[in-house]
Amino acid sequence: MKSKEIIEKSRRLARPYRVTNGKKFRLKDIDPGDTGEFSSDDKARFKEALQTGIDALAELQDVLYAQDRWAVLLIFQAMDAAGKDGTIKHVMSGVNPQGCQVSSFKGPTSEDLDHDYLWRCVKQLPERGRIGIFNRSYYEETLVVRVHPEFLAGQKLPEKCVTKHLWDDRFQDIRSFERYLHRNGTIVRKFFLHVSKDEQRKRFLERLDLPEKNWKFSANDAKERGFWGDYMKAYEETIRETATGNSPWYVVPADNKWFTRVIVAAAVIDALDALDLQYPKVGAAKKKELAEAKKVLLASK
């Protein structure tokens, strides 16, 4: 009963931020500071709810691993300082490490650039029974590469492949790829952690002021703020073009970390519950084998 209650609450929390049809989606309609019907007074309660959600997620992940039929791919995209690392760390803190794998994608290597843009991500897809997490992903190809055309020039594409339809082609490629994954037992859930420009500035300054956080900051972080408008346009079009019923986007307000983490956890719980997971059933032969093993163990000292 308790698990069912958590799952139902998770569904109600996450659904308002889910985008399955991008035609009417506009990024300006999402307030980065939104906390739904809750306020900062609920912060402590939400932290407790997150722990409860983590426990429920751990139970669902255990069944996912045991059943060994489905794979789950969680993709996180965001502007710098939106909280991707912290969200992944907190939400997945209770999951068995054997059933979870995290891949972080930085700038492509020379080897990556000698292949198609999906290649390096395909290599990191989760196995059946596991949750795979992409900290950034192939969506960088419709985001940072679009904002910085010079990166596209470094991909060594044949000239005839670089047409005015390039971005539409990539959106089509990604939709087809995610449909292929779904048809083969890998469900995809995508999260855009939507932080405001003001909140990003605040977090950058904190990283500069606190010695223990200096390592998180690079001069390029501040430079990229100059392209904020271009990034917002790229994110909006990317979400509009690649949000589907089988592979939805969750546009999660990210100015309040306590709220962001609960919404992400709720969305993952909802996704796992939709798979109707079951522990493998043991057949008659296996039951007989287990009974014999029990006899041996009971008779031993």
- Paired strand residues for 226: none
Residue 250, H or E segment:
strand 249-253
* The two structure tokens encoding residue 232: 């917002």
**86-95, 205-214, 252-261: segment of lowest average pLDDT:** 205-214
Model confidence, pTM: 0.93
Q: What's the pLDDT score for residue 190?
A: 98
Whose CA is closest to 30, among 271, 299, 263, 277?
263
How far apart (Å, rounded) are the C-alpha atoms in residues 139 and 278?
32
What burial class does residue 133 get, using C-beta atoms within 10 Å of its C-beta: 0-12 exposed, 13-18 middle, 19+ buried?
A: buried
State the average pLDDT over residues 46-58: 87
How far apart (Å, rounded) are the C-alpha atoms in residues 249 and 18?
6
pLDDT value at 124 more than 50: yes
Q: According to DSSP H, which parts of 110-196 are helical?
A: 110-113, 119-122, 144-147, 149-153, 166-183
State the average pLDDT over residues 132-139: 98
What burial class does residue 293 get, using C-beta atoms within 10 Å of its C-beta: 0-12 exposed, 13-18 middle, 19+ buried?
A: exposed
How far apart (Å, rounded) are the C-alpha atoms in residues 178 and 170?
12
CB 261 within 8 A of CB 90: yes
Highest mean pLDDT among 42-46, 199-203, 277-281: 199-203
Q: At what angle do helices 2-14 and 43-67 cross, to 10 degrees?
A: 110
CB 199 within 8 A of CB 32: yes
Per-residue three-class SS string for 277-296: CCCCCCCHHHHHHHHHHHHH
Model pLDDT for residues 153-212, shown as the tens digit of each residue: 889 999 999 999 999 999 999 999 999 999 999 999 999 999 999 999 999 999 988 887
Q: What's the pLDDT score for residue 87?
A: 95
State the average pLDDT over residues 124-138: 97
User: How many residues are recorded in the chain?
Assistant: 301
On average, the pLDDT of the chain sits at 92
* The two structure tokens encoding residue 91: 């939400």
State the average pLDDT over residues 244-255: 97
Q: What's the pLDDT score for residue 2?
A: 55
pLDDT value at 290 more than 90: no
Question: How, if at all, do strands 131-135 and 100-104 pair?
Answer: parallel
pLDDT band with cut points at 50, 70 and 90 for residue 1: very low
State the average pLDDT over residues 61-68: 95
pLDDT value at 27 more than 60: yes
Q: What's the pLDDT score for residue 76?
A: 98
3-state secondary structure of 199: helix
